[in-house]
């Protein structure tokens, strides 16, 4: 068995991430300067960690959406509740991600999972980006070697209250609310995933997949600006099924120049599970 692959560390000045997206070539050129994080996760129950172990970008570490980037699921809180600052800081520390360390997250689902890590770092002012197009755009060889990780101490930092909304705040909002699920789930739900049919009253359908082109990469900023302008969006509250793919809409909004939107972490898995909350269908 070969020795574990060390995480490469650079003696050069800390690199500046050029924006919320990077491409495969940029990442290959700066692999020694950033911490690459594999956050693959599958709604159908497949193991993201198994996919990571099978092959990953060299030096990448893996973080678990369920156990590290969320609190435990419950009907009262939803399927992917916002992690406590303590849980998030501990996960980053175990992955060797020091404060201020540039991070590039990737998945194999158009950024729909990686955007969750990007958002959590971004709202704390940490340098982070998503690999546009995911693992398929990596221009080099993939690896099966596990990096040697040196854990670091991370102090928990409170979540900025203006970037997250509770169910009551969503209900009281007079602003734009976006639903990032598919149009079918928005209109009538999916009994395998949703606690009941429908969507938050007044919410507009903005499926996350519409942010991508036919190659699975984000549309250009001008196209994203037009997409969101068509539904009258400046800042918005965004939700989805469980607070993960909603971050894809938040990322698209940031690319389009609207970087003061808000995540409703509980999303439909919380709202729909509360029979006292109203719902619209169609």
Q: Which of the residues are catalytic? A: 240
Residue 110, phi then psi, degrees to nearest 5: 70, 15
Residue 237 corresponds to which tokens in the numbers above?
Answer: 């509250």
Query: What is the tally of helices (H) and strands (E) in the chain?
Result: 9, 11
Structural contact between residues 177 and 203, judged by C-beta atoms closer than 8 angstroms: yes
DSSP structural state of residue 164: B
* Residue recorded with tokens 């109203």: 278
- Given CA atoms 90, 21, 232, 230 in this order, what sign does their dihedral have? negative
- Hey, which residues does 164 pair with through a beta bridge? 263
Structural contact between residues 5 and 143, judged by C-beta atoms closer than 8 angstroms: yes
Distance between CA atoms of 178 and 261, rounded to whole angstroms? Answer: 10
- 3-state SS of 4-45? CEECCCCCCCCCCCCCCEECHHHHHHCHHHCEEEECCCCCCC
Structural contact between residues 241 and 79, judged by C-beta atoms closer than 8 angstroms: yes
């Amino acid at each position: 068995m070969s020795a574990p692959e060390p995480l490469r560390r650079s003696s050069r000045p800390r690199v500046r991430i050029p924006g919320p997206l990077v491409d495969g070539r940029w990442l290959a050129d700066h692999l020694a300067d950033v911490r690459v994080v594999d956050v693959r996760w599958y709604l159908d129950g497949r193991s993201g960690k198994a996919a990571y172990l099978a092959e990953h970008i060299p030096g990448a570490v893996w973080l678990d959406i369920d156990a590290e980037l969320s609190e435990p699921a419950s009907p009262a809180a939803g399927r992917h509740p916002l992690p406590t600052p303590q849980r998030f800081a501990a996960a980053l520390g175990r992955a060797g991600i020091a404060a201020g360390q540039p991070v590039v997250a990737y998945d194999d689902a158009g950024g729909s999972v990686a955007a969750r890590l990007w958002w959590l770092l971004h709202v704390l002012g940490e340098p982070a980006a998503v690999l546009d197009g995911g693992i398929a755009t990596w221009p080099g060889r993939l690896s099966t070697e596990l990096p040697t990780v040196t854990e670091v101490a991370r102090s928990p930092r409170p979540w900025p209250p203006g970037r997250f909304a509770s169910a009551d705040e969503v209900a009281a909002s007079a602003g734009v609310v976006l639903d990032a699920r598919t149009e079918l789930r928005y209109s009538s739900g999916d009994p395998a995933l949703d606690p009941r049919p429908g969507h938050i009253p007044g919410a507009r359908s903005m499926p996350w997949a519409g942010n991508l082109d036919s190659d699975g990469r984000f549309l250009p900023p001008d196209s994203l600006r037009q997409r969101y302008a068509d539904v009258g969006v400046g800042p918005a509250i965004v939700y989805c099924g469980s607070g993960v793919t909603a971050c894809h809409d938040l990322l698209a909004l940031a690319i389009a120049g609207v970087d003061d939107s808000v995540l409703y972490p509980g999303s439909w898995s919380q709202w729909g599970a509360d029979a006292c909350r109203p719902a619209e269908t169609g």
